[in-house]
Amino acid sequence: MALEIYNSYSRRKEVFEPINPPYVGMYVCGPTVSGESHLGHARPYITFDIVYRYLLHLGYKVRYVRNITDAGHFEEEGREAEDKISKKALLEKLEPMELVQKYTNLFHWAFRKFNTLDPTIEPTATGHIVEQIAMIEDLIAKGYAYEVNGSVYFDVEKYAKGYDYGKLSGRIIEDLLETTRILESQDEKRNKADFALWKAAPPKHIMRWKSPWGDGFPGWHIECSAMATKYLGSYFDIHGGGMDLMFPHHESEIAQSTICNAHPPVKYWMHNNMITINGKKMGKSYNNVITLTELFSGAHPLLVKAFSPMTIRFFILQTHYRSGLDFSNDALLASEKGLRRLFDAYEILKALPFIEGVEASDKELDNRINTQLDELPKYIEDDFNTAKVLAGLFEIVPTINSIKDKVIASDSLSSATINRMKQDFHVFIEEILGLKNEWAVESPFKEVMNLLASIRKDARSKRDFHTSDKIRDELAKVGIEMKDDKDGGVSWNLQ
Ligand code: ZN
């Protein structure tokens, strides 16, 4: 078995072979902290959290760099976009760095709730202006960038003559020229397709730095190239991001780094597909942008209720990262149920007593469970197919429930198989998929509840229905259900 990754650069699955094992360098384009993260942002960071977790599970030493975009000149679909940070800072009456800190904190808070592991380095664009200027100087010296009126542009046409511009995104220069709008600064550029490496700051622009070309601020693409090169070197293993970043962002990163380092920067390019909402692209114009705090609280007209971070994580992992994913209340409600079902079974499994040396009384079932467990690593090694891993775990859930309900005897499976199930469920659910049991009950509370359940059981056996009913009815009022099992036992459930 070997890990296979779909490489967007070669457009095929490739066996993962790190450049310098056991080290793996991974760069993921981080958030632009000019506003709150929304549902669309949850997908890339959860997707690459799985990649990171699995590489760690395989024993690699991963340097995971995920930047914070807190400055810069942006482009959208090849056209220039406004400086979102300065604009928002004026709007919220905050110092730009205050605004950036506020949304960085909010981003960290939300993604810790999603149980994503922190990157090992989280560099900020504003902290790496020096490196960006050095790279731009290098591009000018090599003849692939030019200065006009204090701004510096990358010469795409010249680059395209000698290199494969558009290889990653499949876009061609003519295509790009057509989609580029005529804007003010177009007059400065030699060609419409050229992109900004540095922009001269107009007098009122708040975020500005000194440079050899005068006061200004960096282009968006150069940030990632400079920070990735600084921390991962000129050739590193994995670069990830959403499919929407392929062009022009990643295509431009490749062009810049290829000129500076004399070779393309990345071995495996990985891109996750996008999230749509009720079949529509997410966007301000559709009025369907749901922020993460709105999702967690339910405070959005499109939401029927609040959805927990783990429900959203589970919902995202139920689809392979390269497939489209449509958000709807129904889909999330189904995910919530599914996640609960998985964790209920996992808790039952964990509570099964450890008995050594039991031979399976049902060999056929025992073999089938082992075959199903064998499939789990194959699914994740197949380009991180979390959807199949979850489906594989769910195939085993009915057997666990049948053991609990005593529909099948507890010795149907060998003790070795039961232990393997416990181990594999732990590894896949918690370590690799990073799912947590949000219904998990703290231990002292659990003890008290078990005590009440046993008092109710005793009361019932003594026909003291006053006591047994009181326990049941009073607990029901606070959302705890007492259940009388077939064998005379009493169990309880948080609703
Ligand atoms: Zn980037």
Instruction: Express each pLDDT in 234-249 by its tens digit.
Output: 999 999 999 999 998 9
Residue 296 C-alpha to ligand 1 middle, in angstroms? 27
Which one is predicted more confidently, 312 or 88? Answer: 312
Is residue 82 scored above 70 in pLDDT?
Answer: no
pLDDT digit string (tens) for 407-447?
999 899 999 999 999 999 999 999 999 999 988 776 678 78
Is residue 459 scored above 80 in pLDDT?
Answer: yes
Phi, psi of 471 (to 5 degrees): -60, -50
**CA distances from residue 234 to 62, 91, 226, 253, 304 in whole angstroms, order as listed:** 16, 39, 10, 12, 48
Residue 361 C-alpha to ligand 1 middle, in angstroms? 56
Which one is predicted more confidently, 75 or 131? Answer: 131
Quote the CA–CA distance of 65 and 225 in Å, as a whole number.
Answer: 12
Quote the CA–CA distance of 270 and 478 in Å, as a whole number.
Answer: 47
Asked which of 74-78, 218-222, 424-428, 476-480 is least confident by mean pLDDT, the reply is 74-78
Is residue 403 scored above 50 in pLDDT?
Answer: yes
Residue 30 C-alpha to ligand 1 middle, in angstroms? 7
Residue 388 C-alpha to ligand 1 middle, in angstroms? 29
pLDDT digit string (tens) for 317-375?
999 999 999 999 999 999 999 999 999 999 999 998 877 888 999 999 999 999 999 99
- Residue that is written with structure tokens 């079902």 in the block: 341
Residue 443 C-alpha to ligand 1 middle, in angstroms? 44
Check residue 93 and report its DSSP letter.
T
pTM over 0.75: yes
Quote the CA–CA distance of 378 and 358 in Å, as a whole number.
Answer: 28
- The whole-number pLDDT of residue 443 equals 67
Residue 221 C-alpha to ligand 1 middle, in angstroms? 6
| Contact (Cβ atoms closer than 8 angstroms) between residue 63 and residue 49 | no
Residue 240 C-alpha to ligand 1 middle, in angstroms? 9
Residue 359 C-alpha to ligand 1 middle, in angstroms? 55
Residue 241 C-alpha to ligand 1 middle, in angstroms? 8
All domains in the chain, ordered by first residue:
4-272 (3.40.50.620), 280-432 (1.10.730), 445-494 (no CATH)
Residue 90 C-alpha to ligand 1 middle, in angstroms? 25
Give the residues across from 25 on adjacent strands: 63
Is residue 184 scored above 50 in pLDDT?
Answer: no
- The whole-number pLDDT of residue 77 equals 46
Q: In angstroms, what is the C-alpha Rg of the chain? A: 27
Quote the CA–CA distance of 383 and 321 in Å, as a whole number.
Answer: 9
pLDDT digit string (tens) for 41-77?
999 999 999 999 999 999 999 999 999 999 876 654 4
Mean model confidence pLDDT for the chain: 91
Tell me the residue type at 170. Answer: G
Confidence at 312, pLDDT banded by 50, 70, 90: very high
Residue 377 C-alpha to ligand 1 middle, in angstroms? 31
Phi, psi of 55 (to 5 degrees): -65, -40
pLDDT digit string (tens) for 169-183?
887 666 666 555 444
Residue 48 C-alpha to ligand 1 middle, in angstroms? 14
- Per-residue H/E/C for 222-256: HHHHHHHHHHHCCCEEEEEEEHHHHHHHHHHHHHH
Q: What is the pLDDT averaged over residues 190-207?
A: 88
